[in-house]
Amino acid sequence: MTNIKNAIEITNIKKYFKSGSEYNKKALKGFDLNIPKGCMFGLLGPNGAGKSTLINILCGLTIKTSGNVKIWGIDIDDDHRNAKNAIGIVPQEFVTDPFFDPMELLEMHAGLYGIKKQNRKTEEILKLVGLWEQRHAYPRQLSGGMKRRLLIAKAMVHQPPILVLDEPTAGVDIELRKQLWDNIRQLNKMGTTVILTTHYLEEAQELCDYIAVIDDGDLIKTGNVKELLKNENQKTITVSLDKKFDKKHIPNYTDLISVKNNIIELSFKPTETNIGNVLTELNNSNYNIQDISTQETKLEDLFLQLTNG
């Protein structure tokens, strides 16, 4: 199983939920998706897109209507148990057990997975998620962020090669979010394939090397983040002029995004025009260019383009 290329291979996946007497709520409409081994993968999409449904199928929490899923090379229909063991899931909602401290909780879970004492990695995992100091703390003494990290630790107890996180930072403040990102990155560096769902595009851009965008049960786009952004046919430039801009001078094939006195922001498609043409046209309209800057394309722009806003 070590020579597999993809951590997960999904083929023609469909999930229809029952609504009334018929199975006509199509949460997943039948698409293929591969998740490369060792990557940090972001599953993006608006609310109701089907993200949770998909990962719940991967984790064995929801039964697919049809299609095939291979986890770490194992078809979930052939060997449900081993496929499931290859994944650790961090659910969106957190329920903490009031009776166990972090150390006890992880030990208990290791026991549930049948991991022998000498093979357990309790200390290592607690240190990794920054909870070693709190290993004997009462659950009620743990902050929200610590509870989330405890959930990540719990999902790692059986040392699965794949970790799935459903909206790991939803409703979490910025500082804590950055800390969680560090923890997740660290796990990925150590070789864990990480799959997370998020509706924070900044998070996906920051963390993920591959993404898939799903919308209304369909796969809209998937690929390497850098490649996707490079191929995106949209550029934005900010130009400082020597005088106030008049809208009748908008250069051909550009869209005016904003005007603030003599500073304008323009977007254009590189297949239709280029920076040279844009600046020449401004010059021809009797503006002198004082300064220009180009913005890096953000995942957000790509996302808006794909989902039509």
Q: Which stretches of the chain bind Mg ion, using CB under 5 A?
A: 51-52
Least distance CB 187 / ligand ADP (angstroms):
22
From the list ligand ADP, Mg ion, none, pick the one residue 254 interacts with, judged by a Cβ distance below 5 to 8 Å according to partner type: none
Closer residue to ligand ADP in complex, CB, 49/142: 49
Closer residue to ligand ADP in complex, CB, 50/160: 50
From the list Mg ion, ligand ADP, none, pick the one residue 53 interacts with, judged by a Cβ distance below 5 to 8 Å according to partner type: ligand ADP
* Strand ranges in 182-287 using DSSP code E only, listed in sequence order: 193-198, 210-215, 218-224, 235-241, 254-260, 263-268
Burial readout 155-165 (b: 16 or more C-beta within 10 A, e: otherwise): bbbbbbbbbbb
**Which positions lie near ligand ADP, rule CB under 6 A?**
17, 25, 27, 45, 47-53
User: How far is Cα 10 from Cα 37, in angstroms, rounded to an integer?
Assistant: 14
Closer residue to ligand ADP in complex, CB, 47/308: 47
Q: Which residues pair with 221 in a beta bridge?
A: 213
Closer residue to ligand ADP in complex, CB, 45/73: 45
Least distance CB 164 / ligand ADP (angstroms):
13
Least distance CB 50 / ligand ADP (angstroms):
4
Q: Which helix (H) or strand (E) holds 81?
A: helix 80-85
* Strand ranges in the chain using DSSP code E only, listed in sequence order: 6-19, 22-36, 40-44, 66-71, 74-75, 87-90, 162-166, 193-198, 210-215, 218-224, 235-241, 254-260, 263-268, 289-295
Closer residue to ligand ADP in complex, CB, 53/134: 53
Q: Which residue is nearest to Mg ion (CB)?
A: 52
